[in-house]
Amino acid sequence: MPRTSDPGRERGVSTPAHRAPQDGTTTAAASHREGGRDGDGPRENGRSDGRHGGDLRSVDSSACSEATQSRVVVVGASAAGLSTVEALRQQGHRGPVTLVGAEPWAPYDRPPLSKHLLTLVATAQGARHPGTDADSPSARTKSLDGAWKQVRLRSGEELTELGVQVRLGSPAVGLEVAARRVHLADGEHLDADHVVIATGVAACGLPGTPQRPGTPPLRGVHRLRTLEDAVELGAQLRQGARLVVVGGGLVGSEAAAVAATLGMQVHLVHRGEQLLGHGLGASVTDFVRRLHLEHGVDVRLRTAVANIEAHAGGVRAVVLSDGTRLPADAVLMAVGSRPVVDWLSGSGLDLSDGVSCDATLSAAEGVYAAGDVCRWPHPRTGRPARVEHRANATEQGIHVAGRILGLHADPFAALPYYWSEQYAASLQVHGWPQGHDEAEVVHGSPEERRFVVAYRQGPRLTAVLAVRSVKAARPWRAALADGASWHQAYGELAA
Ligand SMILES: Cc1cc2nc3c(=O)[nH]c(=O)nc-3n(C[C@H](O)[C@H](O)[C@H](O)COP(=O)(O)OP(=O)(O)OC[C@H]3O[C@@H](n4cnc5c(N)ncnc54)[C@H](O)[C@@H]3O)c2cc1C
């Protein structure tokens, strides 16, 4: 018989009335609104202060007060899960809240994993005294602890302060939707009034290579999704060593930039026509490609991987579809991601490409999804969307908290937003560049390494991208948020 746990009650965990963090830290909800190294002004439609701007006139106050005492289980202790629990407390929820995480770490941030954390780990590794056993369990634990401190969002103590019961290292393995019962790997189950699914995505392997699921891992072949992944990859990055990055999307391109900056020999192999994906257009992707070339990266577009050669359990070379053999000390597979929904099989939820939700992010009565795993019809486009961006995770967590508290029943309509760092260039992207009919540089130029691109699809302005030009992009972003037509925005803003 599985043991039962009624969050915050049976386990004798006190659930104190919410206190705001006492240390003056910003909340996770607020901390990612800005995004990117050189920041990005407040989003017009991203409410990160825990309040909701919807119409509250129809809210039933008795339902609301019941909702503030309800039991909530959030599955996934990362950006979206943390944002949900913090926003619940900020918006007046006082009932038991449990945050369930598969990883042993309290919530940490993933964007630095392909940026400064990689550099930090590599630099620390390089500075280690000769003869130190870097692979010993204690050195590994120390290294992981140190890395977690660099990217942590909240500590377990800070979550306890919020009255949140945290269950780390204990993945959920099943959900009974009608009963809102979450089963854990350790045999326990958690009963709730509201369940939030925030289990994100996992890095894919490459079909047809020794890294396909079910095959033993090959030493030197890496993925980059978790803290462990980043620490293991970072430990391989050293001057003169050879790295093959497979996949020139955001993560692959950023990691290649870090490795090249550290003095590695880097090959960046990408199946597509253009780096970065997301249909950013030639002006942007050529710019990024040139940055890589300037830093000595061998960029190979329209090229697939045929095989990964192994020797004595480790990687030796990557063989490309054109027969080229690239000797390698390490390989990073950055070939995409898949929503983590296997634990929900048999739940009856629609799991085709994430957890399918209605426009308000509800998947079933009392069940919601937030973050990378959530698919919902975006009111601006009318099309199903699943957004794997950091700001989206925060904002959807806040939105779901408001839904649970009965504060609103609004569709989630925030504009997608993400940033990226490639060498010294930071990029900010707002809206939907993919599928554009026209992408025009409307400020600066790629040659100046400072520019803004506006995207048109049909009659509408659909996206804006800035390279080292946050200020210049601001009016374009405002026009985008206002739903301006291309004609109107271009007429008023193009220099
Ligand atoms: C290397 C890297 C760089 C990135 N850089 C950028 C960037 O520059 N800009 C940007 O906008 N975005 C970036 N992103 C994307 C951003 O980090 C994600 O959008 C964000 O982390 C999504 O948060 P999430 O909480 O939805 O999912 P995740 O962060 O994936 O968290 C899901 C959590 O759920 C846990 N989990 C999974 N299954 C279970 C289970 N069964 N039970 C319990 N817990 C479970 C996982 O262990 C994980 O901790 C980057 C991502 C990566 C990996």
Q: Is 114 helix (H, G, I), strand (E, B) or coil?
A: helix
Q: 167 and 255: one domain?
A: no
User: Is residue 144 in some structural domain?
Assistant: no
Q: Which atom of ligand 1 is nearest to the CA of 103?
A: 47
Give the per-residue pLDDT at 62: 62
Q: Which residues, other chains included, contact 36 with Cβ-Cβ below 8 Å and sequence gap of 6+?
A: 419, 421, 426, 427, 428, 470
Q: Is 55 exposed, middle or buried (0-12, 13-18, 19+ CB in 10 A)?
A: exposed
472: domain CATH number? 3.30.390.30
Give the per-residue pLDDT at 36: 37
Q: How far is the CA of 202 from the centre of ligand 1 (A)?
A: 8
Residue owning tokens 């965990």: 13
Q: 195 and 211: one domain?
A: no
In testing the pocket of ligand 1, which one of 40, 78, 225, 251 has its CB within 8 Å of the most ligand atoms? 78
Q: 457 and 381: one domain?
A: no
**Cα separation, 410 vs 179, whole angstroms:** 25
Give the per-residue pLDDT at 133: 60
Give the per-residue pLDDT at 41: 33
| Cβ-contact 70, 64 below 8 angstroms | no
**Cα separation, 440 vs 476, whole angstroms:** 12
Residues of the chain with pLDDT under 70: 1-64, 126-135, 206-216, 278, 495
Return the exposure string of 434-461: e unless at least 16 CB atoms fall within 10 Å of the residue's CB, then b. Answer: eebeebebbbbebeebebbbbbbbeebb
Angle at 13 between CA 8 and CA 17, to 5 degrees: 75
Domain boundary residue among 404, 421, 449? 404
Is residue 446 lining ligand 1, measured as CB closer than 6 Å?
no
User: Is residue 192 in some structural domain?
Assistant: yes
Range of the domain at 484: 432-493
User: Is residue 129 in some structural domain?
Assistant: no
CA 136 vs. chain centroid, Å, equals: 30
Is residue 340 lining ligand 1, measured as CB closer than 6 Å?
yes
User: Is residue 411 in some structural domain?
Assistant: no
Q: 280 and 298: one domain?
A: yes
User: Is residue 130 in some structural domain?
Assistant: no
292: domain CATH number? 3.50.50.60
Q: 64 and 189: one domain?
A: yes
The DSSP code for 325 is E
Is residue 225 lining ligand 1, measured as CB closer than 6 Å?
yes
User: Is residue 145 in some structural domain?
Assistant: no
**Cα separation, 283 vs 272, whole angstroms:** 16
Give the per-residue pLDDT at 175: 98
Q: 247 and 300: one domain?
A: yes
Q: Which residues, other chains included, contact 138 with Cβ-Cβ below 8 Å and sequence gap of 6+?
A: none
Give the per-residue pLDDT at 65: 73
Cβ atoms within 10 Å, residue 226: 18
Give the per-residue pLDDT at 319: 96
Q: Is 160 helix (H, G, I), strand (E, B) or coil?
A: helix
Q: Is 99 helix (H, G, I), strand (E, B) or coil?
A: strand
Domain boundary residue among 335, 351, 375? 335
Give the per-residue pLDDT at 128: 63
Give the per-residue pLDDT at 64: 66
User: Is residue 293 in some structural domain?
Assistant: yes
- Per-residue pLDDT tens digits for 348-367: 999 999 999 999 999 999 99
Give the per-residue pLDDT at 495: 64
Judge if pTM exceeds 0.85.
yes
Q: Which residues, other chains included, contact 48 with Cβ-Cβ below 8 Å and sequence gap of 6+?
A: 29, 30, 32, 33, 394, 395, 398
User: Is residue 413 in some structural domain?
Assistant: no
Q: 327 and 448: one domain?
A: no
In single-letter form, the type of residue at position 495 comes to A
Q: 11 and 74: one domain?
A: yes
Is residue 100 lining ligand 1, measured as CB closer than 6 Å?
yes
Give the per-residue pLDDT at 19: 31
Q: 448 and 313: one domain?
A: no
- Structural domain count of the chain: 3
Give the per-residue pLDDT at 222: 94
